[in-house]
Amino acid sequence: MTATDPTDRDSACFEAGIKFGALYHQFAGTPVSPDSAPSLETAIEESIENQPFCESVTVDILTEKLEAEIDHGYTELTGRFMEVEIVVDHEDVEVRTRMEMEDGYPLMKVESVSEK
């Protein structure tokens, strides 16, 4: 097997994966209610946007689903309550990623990779 240096495209995709790993594992388990969801969305977006190469983060906490799960005023944030889009720009390569539920699993995937 021949080893090669990672391309800018490889590095940009890796950076996008790092952002999703940080987002999910930093915020999963956070207490959330429909009333606190908007401020938590903003906190998640601003936190992840601080990371290098991150162009934008959009978090949509699905409040209707939260309401169905709440017993005692709140529930814990998990992937089933979020839809997320992250855009990374690394060395003029833009990677668009998304997380949404697919077959009962919060699937994180690359939507597109383009060179600027």
Counting Cα atoms < 13 Å in the Cβ hemisphere of 28 gives 10
Q: Tell me the pLDDT band of 1, cut-offs 50, 70 and 90.
A: confident
Tell me the two tokens of residue 101: 């539920």
Neighbours of 114 (CB within 10 A): 11
Spatial distance between the Cα atoms of 41 and 48, rounded to a whole number of angstroms: 11
The bridge status of strand 31-32 relative to strand 105-115 is unpaired
This model's pTM is above 0.85: yes
Better-predicted residue by pLDDT, 10 or 116: 10
For residue 63, what pLDDT is reported? 95
Neighbours of 2 (CB within 10 A): 3
Express each pLDDT in 27-81 by its tens digit.
Answer: 999 999 999 999 999 999 999 999 999 999 999 999 999 999 887 889 999 999 9
Domains of the chain in start order, with CATH, are: 8-115 (3.30.1300.20)
Q: Tell me the pLDDT band of 18, cut-offs 50, 70 and 90.
A: very high
For residue 59, what pLDDT is reported? 98
